[in-house]
Amino acid sequence: MRSLVRFSAEGEGFVPPSSNDFNLPPIFGDNAYTTKPILLVGLSVILISVFFLLSSRKAAIVPSKFQFAGESVYAFVRNDLARDVIGHEFMRFVPYLFTLFTFILTNNIFGIVPFLQFPAMSHVSFPYVLAIFTFVIFHYVGIRKQGIGKYVKEIMFMPGVPKAAYVLLTPIEIVTFFLTRPLTLSLRLFANMFAGHLLLLVFILGGDHLLKGVIGLKLISPFAFAFGIGLTFFEFMVQCLQAYIFTLLTALYIAGALADEH
Amino acid sequence: MSNREENALWSIFGYLLSGLIFWGGIGWALDRWLGTGFFLLGGLLVGMAGAIYLVWLRFGRD
Amino acid sequence: MTGTLNLVGYGLSAIGPAIATGMIFAAYISGVARQPEARSVLQPIAFLGFALAEALALFGLVLAFVL
């Protein structure tokens, strides 16, 4: 959108993409609830629901291709993430992990789908909310399992340490559990999506700008576009990986809260 | 890599960051309060030492 | 174009820990691949080495924002 406006003004220098490119205007009128990220999140919810409802509705013993696709995603989350990490109590957490994985994955991949091309997770508030969910769940699970006193005691006091060292270590443990974990969880996802989108903008808009230049620059611009396309595939890998890592860490935190000793 | 190893790597990162943030933050606040310049460095070093000690306690010994 | 040189300095200072982390895990992986039963001996050493290298990288990160 912005690039069209920008390049119609002749003689203006190249404006490198910045964080302003992420503040998109509302699509319908003046309503702040119809910005592109919010509509994309809504679309992702609809797409995920429709896909998995359709793929599981006519479940057969010999699966169709559609059913197979849905079931392999589910089996991946259930077996490779939940069962291997959490252990024998894993079935309670599969719905949350599965929702988390498909939601993040779909929203990330929107970053490279033509015409949508915006990862909603590059707005930091979406990862924050997801990290708060995870934060509440893993502490709740730990408190339910071990009782509040034992759980807090286990977080705060390492066994087998001289008493004086607790002054040094206990604050670090508390900060780790209550601040660093949710913060790094959300910022990792946010930073990867933000940087990836910015990278693609740099190459595509830069190539576009080079095409407007003198003949020598025109010859360079195909390389910029080729790099942009290559980086798009790289982005696809990063987006899948980040969805996986977010879900894996959630499962690891839950497993840590469930375990009797760390 | 097994899950224990992945877990350990992310935990180590978290511990180091928390140690630096907490004790470095205290040093930074003391510096602001007293107008000195060495508490920040001291706080960061204390936080780093504490975090590495914690990593050793949790992952280094058998 | 405006910016702060601190971040350039941090970028330069992060090269060292990055190479160190790579070398630590390269050595760890090849050690475990050659002798899988040595894993329990090598693992704490690799993690501590990783922690020491990573601490320097985070030290640089914090200082880049504070100074």
Q: Quick: pLDDT tens for B23-43.
A: 999 999 999 998 888 888 899
Number of domains in chain A: 1
Tens digit of each residue's pLDDT (9 = 90 or more) over A167-189:
888 888 889 888 998 999 999 99
Structural domain of residue A36, as residue ranges?
Answer: 16-258
Under 8 Å between Cβ of B53 and B14: no
Given a cut of 90, whether residue C29 has pLDDT beyond it is yes
Residues 6+ apart with CB under 8 A from A255: A85, A86, A87, B7
End-to-end CA distance of chain A: 51
Query: What is the pLDDT, as a whole number, of residue A190?
Result: 92
Residue A233's pLDDT band, with cuts at 50, 70 and 90, is very high
Mean pLDDT, rounded, for C22-28? 94
Residue with tokens 């001289």: A162
The CA-atom distances, in angstroms, between A135 and each of A12, A182, A185 are: 48, 6, 10
Q: How far apart are CA A254 and CA A214, in angstroms?
A: 58
Q: Would residue A7 count as lying in a domain?
A: no
Kindly tell me if the per-residue pLDDT of C56 is higher than 60: yes
Cβ atoms A3, A9 nearer than 8 A: no
Q: Residues of chain A whose C-beta is under 8 A from some C-beta in B? A: 84-85, 158, 160-161, 165, 168-169, 171-173, 175-176, 179-181, 184, 248-249, 252, 255-256, 262
User: Which residues, 6+ apart, have CB-to-CB distance to C56 below 8 Å?
Assistant: C13, C16, C17
Q: What pLDDT does A260 receive?
A: 60
Closest CB to B13 among C48, C54, C66: C54
Q: Is A124 part of a structural domain of the chain?
A: yes
Looking at every residue in chain A, the average pLDDT score rounds to 84
Query: Is A4 part of a structural domain of the chain?
Result: no
Position A104 pLDDT exceeds 50:
yes
Q: Give me the mean pLDDT over the A55-80 stretch.
A: 82
Q: Tell me: pLDDT of B1 over 90.
A: no
Instruction: Give the model's pLDDT for residue A261.
Output: 53
Q: Name the percent of chain C in helix, strand, coil, to the closest 5.
A: 90, 0, 10
Candidate from A172, A184, A249 with C-beta closest to B50: A172
| Distance separating alpha carbons of residues B1 and B6, to the nearest angstrom | 7
Chains with 3 or more CB pairs closer than 8 angstroms to A? B
Domain ranges of chain B: 20-62
A10 within some domain = no
Q: For residue C17, what are its two tokens? A: 């820990």
Q: Which residue has the higher pLDDT, B7 or A191?
A: A191
**pLDDT number for residue B3:** 62
Query: How far apart, in whole angstroms, are the C-alpha atoms of residue C47 and residue B55?
Result: 8
Between chain A and chain B, the number of residue pairs with CB atoms below 8 A apart is 58
In terms of Cβ atoms closer than 10 Å to its own Cβ (0-12, 13-18, 19+), residue A75 is exposed
What pLDDT, on a 0 to 100 scale, did the predictor assign at position A116? 81
Report the interhelical angle of A215-258 vs A94-109 (nearest 10°): 170
ipTM: 0.86
Q: What are A181-222's pLDDT values in tens digits?
A: 899 999 999 999 999 999 898 888 888 888 887 787 788 888
Within-domain flag for A129: yes
Alpha-carbon dihedral angle through residues A104, A105, A110, A113, given to the nearest 10 degrees: 180
- Taking the model in full, what pTM does it have? 0.84
Say yes or no: B40 contacts chain A, CB-CB below 8 A.
Answer: no
Per the structure, the count of domains in chain C is: 1
Average pLDDT over every residue of B19-23: 91
B59/C59 Cβ within 8 A: no
Give the pLDDT of residue A9. Answer: 41
- pLDDT score of A44: 92
Q: Where do we find the tokens 């702040």? A: A32
Binning pLDDT at 50, 70 and 90, where does residue A3 land? very low
User: Of the candidates B3, B17, B57, which has its C-beta nearest A184's C-beta?
Assistant: B17
Q: For A37-46, how does the pLDDT look when each residue is reduced to its tens digit (9 = 90+)?
A: 888 899 999 9
Range of C57's domain? 5-66
For residue B4, what is the enclosing H or E element? helix B3-34
**More confident of the two residues C3 and C53:** C53
- DSSP letters, A65-122, are HHHHHHHHHHHIIIIIIIIHHH-TTGGGGHHHHHHHHHHHHHHHHTTTSTTT---GGG
Query: Is residue A29 in a domain?
Result: yes
